[in-house]
Amino acid sequence: MLRRPLEINRRAFLSTASAALLLQAARGFALPVPAGQALRSNPFLLGVASGDPEPDGFVLWTRLSTDTKRGDGGLPPVAMPVRWEVATDAGFHHIVQKGTASATPEMGHAVHVEVTGLPAHRDFFYRFHTADATSPVGRSRTAPAANATVDRLRFAFASCQNYEHGYYHAHRDLAGQDVDAVLFLGDYIYEYRSKDRPRVHTLPKLETVDDYRTCYAQYHSDPDLQAAHAAHPWIVTFDDHEVENNWAGDIDQENDPPAAFLKRRAAAFQAYYENMPLRRTSLPTGPDMTVYRTLSYGKLAQFTVVDTRQFRTDQPCGDNFKAPCAERANPAATMMGPSQETWFQKALSSSPAQWNVVANQVMIQQLKERRDGELVYNMDQWDGYPAARQRLMKYLAEAKPSNPVVVTGDTHQTWVGDLKADFNNPDSAVVGTELVGTSITSGGDGVARTRFSDEELRDNPHIVYNNDLRGYFLCELDAKEMRSELRTVDKVTSMDGTVTTAARFRTEAGKPGINVA
Ligand code: FE
Ligand code: CA
């Protein structure tokens, strides 16, 4: 189907091959030799992914590209048929589902296949073919049946993977773990160019859909990120940098007219959808996109994924670290917007699951910090929206949904602590648990300890642990408890960083709150 000869991009091709090898090493199965070697150019430079597992299937994703520096992937502006296969074995001797999808230029030559009809809670392997090229092999896993009693669920969560700030050692480590799913909580890309970093963005600033497509192509070209996608199904949501730093509803930080910002948001959402293993229910309509949703793992766990960007009111008192001003007390302040807030409470109250895991973007726990002796809050976090947080805490305290555990991104540090009925009253009830994961790379190396002063530790008695290194979390749930493990990277700025366990945590079922194990 390739209408014109395409150049070989041998370096990028090798990185796809090494991703396949990494995956092979990580999971111990043999991969077929990619037929792409017979082509003049490999169209699978962005790898493969799967996502949003249901008991009978999942989404399969790839996006064709022969040139990772171009938004159009160096492809002709025509639709290309892409065959897909799902098998029970990595050698594809037992193919259980197959079909053909169309990779169109309107969708950035992305392919989203919603596979159905598979048995629950099983591993499957998948791959794509186009022209005479074959993609790397991915592994996915269906969710348990809705009414199933599940002994154990393992998941990872991660966020904030600024490509320029370092190497994805955390993703390489994650690719080798045995998890049912990976939650990615936002800042998959960053929309600006940094200075003096180990890697450099292709484009300095993103504005058009082609710009965002180019940025995603560069991120997806990373072999470690490809390995983590190929190894596990992902459940994704966005935060601010998929569009622009600290945007809130239809307001951006540069105070562009809302119409101009919404045009950029539409371009960013289009590219986000094209580059993520999302279902059609998340296909954007102009500047609007629905990513809040629930996913069930039998009677053991429900993931409730929220969107705290698209429907929030503007940050009060200026952005980020500011002393509290009167505007912060606005009772109408909202993080989710009224209709998502209603949906959220219903989703948790009607959940049949033992554990209710909330996939959330920005930190809910109160975090009092001192800057030059002055007490400040990060107004982009729930600290900027105390009325909205109080509604959420009141709901958890009164409705008592079963074992709420919030997993959060954004801060580029690890913060583990208790959700309190009233954060300003240390004697108030613990109503849930929050694990704020650090970043995959954003912020650079960091240090293996807290940056908190003794005074700040006293100001925040609900926080049990803080660590400034990069990394991600592994969590394991059973009927009795949740065990969490923080994996940290010693150095993201060098190519030979190593990943180790920095700390372990325990949350008992029926007893909200978390302890260092
Ligand atoms: Fe971030
Ligand atoms: Ca963020």
Report residues near ion ligand 2: CB below 5 Å: 187, 239-240, 410
CA of 413 to the centre of ligand 1 (A): 10
- For position 172, what pLDDT does the model report? 98
Specify the pLDDT at position 27: 37
> What's the 363 CA to ligand 1 centre distance in angstroms?
12
Report CA(44)–ligand 2 centroid distance (Å): 29
364 Cβ contact list (under 8 Å, min separation 6): 381, 382, 389, 392, 406, 408, 419, 434
pLDDT of residue 40: 63
- Residues whose beta carbons lie less than 5 angstroms from ion ligand 1: 160, 187, 442
> What's the average model confidence in pLDDT over 142-154?
97
CA distance 364 to 335: 10
Dihedral sign for Cα atoms in the order 92, 93, 96, 97: positive
Compute, in angstroms, the gap from residue 160 CA to the centroid of ligand 2. 7
Q: Looking at residues 466-488, what average pLDDT do you find?
A: 98
- The type of residue at 344 is F
* Residue 442 CA, ligand 1 centroid: distance in Å: 6
Least confident of 117-131, 446-460, 485-499: 446-460
Strand-pair partners of 475: 155, 484
What's the 506 CA to ligand 1 centre distance in angstroms?
26
* C-alpha of residue 437 to centroid of ligand 1, in Å: 11
Q: Specify whether the CB–CB gap between 268 and 206 falls below 8 A.
A: yes
- pTM of the predicted protein model: 0.92
Q: What is the pLDDT of residue 482?
A: 98
Q: Which of 19-33, 41-55, 322-336, 458-472 has the lowest mean pLDDT?
A: 19-33
pLDDT attached to residue 254: 84
HEC per residue, 27-96: HCCCCCCCHHHHCCCCCECCCEEEEEEECCEEEEEEECECCCCCCCCCCCCCCEEEEEEEECCCCCCCEE
Tell how far the Cα of 239 is from the centroid of ligand 2, in angstroms: 5
CB atoms within 10 A of CB 208: 15
Q: Is the pLDDT of residue 292 over 90?
A: yes
pLDDT in the model for residue 246: 97
481: CB partners within 8 A, 6+ apart: 506, 507, 508, 509
How confident is the model at residue 253, as a pLDDT? 86
pLDDT tens readout for residues 242-290? 999 999 999 998 888 999 999 999 999 999 999 999 999 999 999 999 9
Measured in Å, residue 401 CA sits from the centre of ligand 1 at 29
Instruction: Map out the domains of the chain with their CATH numbers.
Output: 10-141 (2.60.40.380), 153-516 (3.60.21.70)
Which of 88 and 7 is assigned the larger pLDDT?
88
Quick: pLDDT tens for 200-215: 999 999 999 999 999 9
Residue pair 45/9 in contact (Cβ under 8 Å)? The answer is yes
How large is the average pLDDT for residues 410-424?
Answer: 97
Contact in structure between 213 and 71 (CB atoms under 8 Å) = yes
Percent of the chain with pLDDT over 90: 89
CA 93 – ligand 2 centroid, Å = 43
Q: How far is the CA of 410 from the centre of ligand 2 (A)?
A: 4
Q: Taking 60 as the threshold, does the pLDDT of residue 68 lie above it? A: yes
